[in-house]
Chains A and B, each alone.
Chain A
C-alpha cells in the first residue's frame, strides 16, 4: 500500500521567505509527527497530532514554526521568515495503535535549504 509521502522533496528558499511543507500520512493512521533532522544530529521532535486532540507543539523551536492537520489526514508545516539555521531535512511520520508503543512510518523527507 501507499506509504507516507512528503512534498516537495527539495526546497531552496531565500532567507526571510515563508515555506510550506506537506505530509500525506498513511490512510487510517491517527497519529502524525513532524521531526527535523540536521546534519550530525538526531531527529528533533517538532509537533505531534493525535486524532482530534489538541496537538502537542512542545517541540516547535520558535513561533515562526506552525503546523496544522486538516480532517485528520494531510498536514502542513509552515516556517515563516526562514533563517539559515532552518536548513535541515524535515521528516513526517504517521502511526496508529497504543500511544507510545506504536511503530512510526516515515516519509522520505523534505530537504530545505535556506540561502
Chain B
C-alpha cells in the first residue's frame, strides 16, 4: 500500500533555531515527493518537490528537504525559523506506477515561538 507518514502532529521551535518536519513514505517504484504549507484560513501552497537528481532540494521561503532513498524519508528543514513559518505542513508523494493519486500525510503543525 502507498502511504505517507508524518510522525509528529505538532512541532515547536524557538525563533532563530533550526527546524525539521519529518516525513517518511512507502510507494512502489520511484517516488515524486512534495511539501505544501497551509497558513491559517488560506489554501495549501507549494514549497518544494523532489523529482530526480540532487537529493537536496531547495524551495520557497528558505526551506529545503533531503530525499533519502535508503530511509524512505523526505524531511523538511530550515536553518533558522521565523515566527511567520508557523503553519500546517503537508508531505505528499506520488509514484506513476500507482495511478494518479497523490498521497498526503496528516500534516504537522509547526509553531515558532518568539
Contacts and interface: CB of A to CB of B under 8 A. Distances in A.
Interface of A: 3-4, 33, 35, 40-45, 48, 50, 56, 58-59, 91, 93, 99-101, 103-109
B100 interface: yes
27 contacts: A4-B43, A35-B104, A40-B106, A42-B106, A42-B107, A43-B44, A43-B92, A43-B102, A43-B104, A45-B102, A56-B99, A56-B100, A56-B101, A91-B43, A100-B32, A100-B94, A100-B96, A101-B32, A103-B46, A103-B49, A104-B36, A104-B44, A104-B46, A104-B102, A106-B45, A108-B43, A109-B43
Contacts of A50: 100
A43 B105 CA distance: 7
A109 B94 CA distance: 22
Interface residues of B, number: 26
A40 B49 CA distance: 24
B83 interface: no
B49 A101 contact: yes
B87 interface: no
B95 interface: yes
B25 interface: no
